[in-house]
Structure 1
Amino acid sequence: MMGGPSENPELWAFLESLHCGEFLSGTVTAIERFGVFVALDDGPDHPVFPGVGFISFAELSWQRFEAASDVVQVGQRVSCEFLQFDTWNLEARLSLRATQPDPFQVFADGAAVGQKLHGRVTKLAPFGAFVQVVDGIEGLVHLRELAWTPVETPSDAVQVGDEVTVVVTEIDRERRRLALSRRKGSSEHR
C-alpha cells in the first residue's frame, strides 16, 4: 500500500478529482509484463511507478495481440478513458480501447441471425471451431454445428485455414459472442 492522502497529498487530490469516463492524455513511459504505464499530462509524478496512469492488457485494444508493443510504444502519445482510482497503488486505471469503437458492436449493427457469411477457420477447440468472419471478429461453430454427420473432434470436419460458409445463429452483444453454424450454411442434404 502506498499510504493515505497525508503521504502523497498532491497525487491523492489529483486522482480523487478524476471522473469515470473522462478522457486523459499522456505519454507511454513503460511497458511491463502486466500492463502499460502512462505519465499523464496534467497529473503529478508517481513516487514509485514510471507513471500515474496504468492500462491493463485487457484495456489496450479490442483486437487480439501478442505483445503490448504491437499496440503502443514507449514515448507514444495516448488519449485514454479514466476507469477508476486504484487507491492501493495510487494510480489511475485507464482504457485505451474505450476510445475506439468496439468492432464487435459495429459488426453486430450490420449483422443478423440467419445471415450467411464467409470466413476462415482460425482455431480448433475440443468443443468446436473458431471462424473469423471479418477482421477482428471471430465466431464459434459448435461441434454439433460443424458438419451434417456428427463428428467427434473439429478436425474431422475442418482444419485451421479452411475457408468456410457459415450462418449466424446468435449475436450476444453483452458478452461479445457470435455463434455460427456450418450445417445451416451448407446446401447439402436439404
Structure 2
Amino acid sequence: MDWRAESPELWAFLGSLRCGEVLSGTVTAIELFGVFVALDDGPAHPLYPGVGFITIPELSWRRFEAASDIVQVGQRVSGEFLQFDTWNAEARLSLRALQPDPFHAFAERITVGRELRGHVTQLVPFGVFVQVADGIEGLIRRRDLTQPTDEVVQIGDRVTVVVTHVDREKRQLFLSRQTTSQL
C-alpha cells in the first residue's frame, strides 16, 4: 500500500516525529506480536487500531509471559519514539526506554565469584535460568551442570549460584552451581 497517497496526513505526522521524543496514548489492542497505541496527537490509522506500535521486547526490561502482564487495553501509556516504520506507517515506541535498566544497576554492584541465592525460572536445552534479583536472571550453561538439566533442578527450586561472568554490553549474566569453596 502506498501510505503517502492513501493517507498523506498520517505520513506527514509520522515524518515529523523525532527519535527520543516521548509520545502518549491509549492501548487499543494487544496482539501476540505487539501492542497498538492510539496516540494523543496525530491522526487515526486507516488500517490498524493505532498509529503507535510497541514490539514485545520494548514493553519491559523484565521477563514476562504475555503483553497483558505489562499493559491492558484502555491503559494510558507513554513511550519513546524509536523509528518511523514506513512499511506499516506506524510510530515504533518503547516503554522500557523510559525505565531504568535493572541489569546495569545490578552489574555495577556484582563481582565475579560472588555467591547469590535465586530460584529457577526456566529449563532450556542449553542450561538453566535462575532469577537472582528482581528482573535479573542468569544462565547456568548445560556444560556447567553435572547431570542432565531436569535431574539437577526443577522450575521454582531455590539454588545457590556463583557469578562466573557478567557481560554488560549484551546484558548477560553467567552462573555456576559450584560454590566458591568448590572453585
Same fold (TM over 0.5): yes
Deviations 1:41-92 (A, max 9, x none): 1111111111110111121112222222211111111100111101111110
- Structure 1 residue aligned with 2:164: 169
- Structure 2 residue aligned with 1:140: 139
- Structure 2 residue aligned with 1:120: 119
Structure 1 stretch displaced more, 160-169 or 12-21: 160-169
SS at match of 1:5: helix
Distance 1:91 1:12 in 2: 9
- Structure 2 residue aligned with 1:35: 34
Percentage of matched positions with identical amino acids: 69
Whether the aligned pair in 2 keeps the contact of 1:29 and 1:37 (CA below 8 Å) is yes
Matched, 1:11 2:10: yes
Matched, 1:181 2:176: yes
Unaligned runs of 5+ residues in structure 2 are none
Q: Which has the larger radius of gyration?
A: 1
RMSD: 1.8
Which portions of structure 1, spanning 4 or more consecutive aligned residues, are displaced by more than 4 angstroms? none
Per the normalisation by structure 2, the TM-score is 0.91
Whether the aligned pair in 1 keeps the contact of 2:3 and 2:89 (CA below 8 Å) is no
SS at match of 1:140: strand
Distance 2:126 2:45 in 1: 46
Alpha-carbon offset, residue 127 of structure 1: 2.8
- Aligned residues, how many? 183
Cα 1:113–1:72 shift into 2, 3 Å = same
Distance 1:75 1:105 in 2: 32
Alpha-carbon offset, residue 179 of structure 1: 0.3
Alpha-carbon offset, residue 33 of structure 1: 2.7
